[in-house]
Amino acid sequence: MSTKNTKHEPSGISRRGFLKGVGAGAVATGLLQEVSESAGIAEAATPTTLGPGEIPIKLNVNGQSRSLNVEPRVTLLDALRNRLDVTGTKKVCDRGTCGACTVLLDGKVVYSCSVLAVEAQDKKIVTIEGLGTPDNLSDMQAAFIEHDASQCGFCTPGFIVATTAFVRDNPGATLEEVREGLGGNLCRCGTYAGITAATFEQAQKGGA
């Protein structure tokens, strides 16, 4: 015998109750408007505007505090490359599509062409230069060389930053998970086999 209760239970909200609730909400909204008009309107009417000329900002790049002047419209990518001479981060699409400009912002993977430099203040920026140097390669950089994961090299810095963060967050990732994890970066030379092998190897080692 079925134990299913087919009796229609009241939902707990009657039409009358709903209308009363809406009315109370409308009154509350009205009160809020009155309060904000009397107390907060002066602040809302005077928003802070930046620019359009250059403004002084500070960026923390690879552990160093760097001072520079930029127009508020300048992207983090252009500030790094054109103002700070940190050119390991590459500019390809400049449209948040290819991943060549990938950096870490407070540990999160971001496209630096899609972040304004002024937004990156008070955050820790890590570029490819901050992961390793030619004399002291990071494990992922060494794995890319070992697995021949680079041809022209233009996509490589972005891939290494992205894959370093991927294995940090996904130690022991499967091959399928690695392939999926590489989805935010494009390589026009088609070195995906080497990149996948290097990343999988580092994931199996528990992270670069």
Residue 144 C-beta: closest distance to ligand FES, Å:
10
Dihedral pair phi/psi, residue 145, rounded to 5° = -65, -45
Say whether residue 145 binds ligand FES (CB under 6 A).
no
CB atoms within 10 A of CB 78: 20
Residue 160 C-beta: closest distance to ligand FES, Å:
11
Residue 101 near residue 109, CB atoms below 8 Å: no
Please tell me the distance from the alpha carbon of residue 91 to that of residue 114, in angstroms, as a whole number: 11
Q: Which three-class secondary structure state does DSSP give residue 68?
A: strand
Say whether residue 160 binds ligand FES (CB under 6 A).
no
Residue 116 near residue 73, CB atoms below 8 Å: yes
Say whether residue 189 binds ligand FES (CB under 6 A).
yes
**Residue type for 100, please?**
A
Say whether residue 192 binds ligand FES (CB under 6 A).
no
Site string for ligand FES, 32-71 (x = CB under 6 A): ----------------------------------------
Say whether residue 99 binds ligand FES (CB under 6 A).
yes
Hunting for tokens 């103002």 — which residue is that?
Answer: 83
Tokens representing 83 are 């103002």
Q: Which of 155, 173, 178, 197 binds ligand FES (CB under 6 A)?
A: 155
Number of residues counted as binding ligand FES (CB under 6 A): 23
Binding site residues, ligand FES, CB under 6 A: 91-94, 96-101, 111, 113, 150-156, 187-189, 191
